Each structure stands twice: as structure tokens, then as C-alpha cells.
Amino acid sequence: MATTAAAPLDTEALLDRSAGGGGRPRRGPGRILAWVALVLIMAATLFPFLWMIRTAFSNGAALSTQPASLLPVEPTLGAFRRVLGLASTEEAQAQGGSGAAIDFGRYLLNSVLVSVLITAGQVFFGALAAYAFARLRWPGRDTVFFLFLTALMVPPIFTQLPNFLLMRDLGLLNTYAAIVLPFFFMTPFAIFFLRQFFLGIPHEVEEAARLDGAGPLRRFFGVILPMASGPITTLAILQYVQAWSEYFWPLLVASEENVRVLTVGLGIFRAQTPQGTPDWSGMMAGTLLAALPVLLLFAVFSRKIVNSIGFSGVK
């Protein structure tokens, strides 16, 4: 999707400043109404997740008997066994599966591998470039930065058609390299995000190291990078989630079983039953496996993520 970027903004700091009630409405019917609205919004957000879980733990063949039951219908782990390729064809079909071979365990590993590689590359190379843009002086710097900015304007599909040909010509189709490479070295967002943070570090900090005789390399790794651990964590999480969700590109270059990522696997699973009744519980078990890792990551870092979403992290 299109990306634009700016400064890492700490919403929390702003919140602290405006704490103390600053003109917030007090009690009254309006406030109760507002809370009712908030609760409704949260319910509308959470219910689909509940439904995903409820269906994933149901017996697919029995779903139609109690389509509105809030709890799993004939609770079973069958759907998970099925999508992980652990169930026999008969067992799968008995519970509403298609019986076709599918291995979400493999896709899960592929997704983790690919997303970790993409995130590592983007954060590391992005930090290097951001430092060069923010704190080093070199001829042509502003021109190159402007060029990078224009990369934000190009819709991904525009570059992905030729990039597909490039991967094909390099003989990389259906390899991890094909999925990772276009995102690995540079993403405008990472560079802008970190550049904005680096710009904000007072020059005295680096100047002190410079006077001690530290060159740019040592100043970057020894002084600047440790200071940026907060924004780097935030960036890494955002990029990981992004890489994890990517569907279009891996669909083009890596649909074969051994390198298939979760999103592509889900698309294929869905297509396995175009007619008749889809294997709903299997499908929901697959989506749950795909959603769980990022949701767990989020559970750990939610405060950090939520507070760093500003036009800061517009993305």
C-alpha cells in the first residue's frame, strides 16, 4: 500500500502534557452515551475475532447445525490438525475438510523467516541511510533524498510487474530471495521514519564523541544507534506486521508449496473449495494461525505501538 512518512511522534508525551482534564467533559447523559458508543465500537471490533476462534475450534461438518451458537460447535482441534497437515484424508473429510494436502505449519515458518529477513534488512539499511541523510554532509544528498521521496509516489503494482520479470530472469521465482529482495535494501518509510528521529538528536551528543576522535562509523554504532533503540523497535514492529501481511508480491513470485507464505496459503486454501460448502472451520483455523503471531507481538508491545501511531507513522 502507499506509504508516506514523517517523524516518530510520541503521543504519550503529548498526552501527559495535556493530562489533568484540560476541558474534558464531566459526567452527564452525553458522557454515558459516549461510553455506550465506545463499547459498541469495541464490540464490533472484537466480535469477528471471537467468531474466528469459535469457528476454528468447531467441527466443520457440524457448523450448519448451530450456525448462531456463540460457543464452538462440537469442540475439536480437528480444524488445526487438518490445516497443519496432521489429519488423514478420511479424518479431514469427516469434519468438512476437502482432504487436499495443506501444510500451514510450513507456511507459518516461511512467513516468519521472510518477515524477519525483510524487517532486519529494512531496519539495518534504513538506519544507515537515514543517518547519512540526517547527520552526514555529502554532495548530492538532498537530490538523492528527493529521489527517494518520489519512490513513495509510485504505486507498488507499477514496479511489481517489471520486478516479477526481473526475478524470473534471475531464475529466482519460488525462492525466499524473490519474496525478500525488493523490500530488503530500501523502503522509503523506514528511511524517513529514522531520519526524522536522527534529525532530532542534539548535535552536542555527537560532537563530544567527535572530539574524542571517534569517526562517523563509531559515532553511528556507538552513540546514535543505541539512542535510537526505541524508534527502531517501533519501526521493526511496524515493518514486521507489514511484511507479514503482504499478499500481492509473494503471490506473484512464490506460490509453490515449499516457499509459500501464510497469506498465499490462505488464498489457495480458499480456492480449493470454490463450489459446494467451503471448509469454514479449517479456513478459520488457518486465519487464526496467521493472525496469532502478530496479535501476540502486539499484546507485548501494544503501548509502544499505539503511542507511536501518529502522522509520525502514517503508513
The nearest distance, CB 293 to another protein, in angstroms, is: 10
Instruction: Tell me: does residue 294 bind another protein (CB under 8 A).
Output: yes
> Using CB under 8 A as the criterion, what x/- string covers residues 205-244 for binding another protein?
--x-------xxx--x--------------------x--x
Identify which of 104, 126, 159 has the alpha carbon closest to the alpha carbon of residue 279: 104
Instruction: Candidates 23, 29, 213, 226: give the one binding another protein (CB under 8 A).
Output: 23
> Using CB under 8 A as the criterion, what x/- string covers residues 35-74 for binding another protein?
x-xx--xx-xxx-xx-xx--x-------xx--xx------
Spatial distance between the Cα atoms of 287 and 92, rounded to a whole number of angstroms:
17
- Kindly report the number of other CB atoms within 10 A of residue 134's CB atom: 19
Identify which of 50, 90, 55, 99 has the alpha carbon closest to the alpha carbon of residue 74: 55
Instruction: Tell me: does residue 287 bind another protein (CB under 8 A).
Output: yes
Provide the residue type at 31 as one letter.
R
Instruction: Tell me: does residue 14 bind another protein (CB under 8 A).
Output: yes
Residues 6+ away with beta carbon under 8 Å from 163: 182
The tally of CA atoms less than 13 A away on the side-chain side of residue 257 is: 5
Instruction: Tell me: does residue 29 bind another protein (CB under 8 A).
Output: no
Instruction: Rank residues 90 and 106 by Cβ distance to another protein and give the closer one.
Output: 106
The nearest distance, CB 230 to another protein, in angstroms, is: 16
Instruction: Candidates 248, 256, 258, 300: give the one binding another protein (CB under 8 A).
Output: 248
The nearest distance, CB 23 to another protein, in angstroms, is: 3
Instruction: Candidates 141, 208, 230, 300: give the one binding another protein (CB under 8 A).
Output: 141
Binding residues for another protein restricted to 147-176, rule: CB under 8 A: 147-149, 151, 153-163, 165-166
Instruction: Tell me: does residue 77 bind another protein (CB under 8 A).
Output: no
Residues 6+ away with beta carbon under 8 Å from 22: none
Instruction: Tell me: does residue 88 bind another protein (CB under 8 A).
Output: no
Instruction: Tell me: does residue 22 bind another protein (CB under 8 A).
Output: yes
Q: Which stretch binds another protein (CB under 8 A): 76-84, 85-93, 95-103, 295-303?
A: 295-303
Instruction: Tell me: does residue 108 bind another protein (CB under 8 A).
Output: no
Instruction: Tell me: does residue 275 bind another protein (CB under 8 A).
Output: no
Instruction: Tell me: does residue 144 bind another protein (CB under 8 A).
Output: yes
The tally of CA atoms less than 13 A away on the side-chain side of residue 169 is: 6
Spatial distance between the Cα atoms of 59 and 180, rounded to a whole number of angstroms:
37
Binding residues for another protein restricted to 173-192, rule: CB under 8 A: 181-182, 184-186, 191-192
Q: Are 99 and 89 in contact (CB under 8 A)?
A: yes
Instruction: Tell me: does residue 31 bind another protein (CB under 8 A).
Output: yes
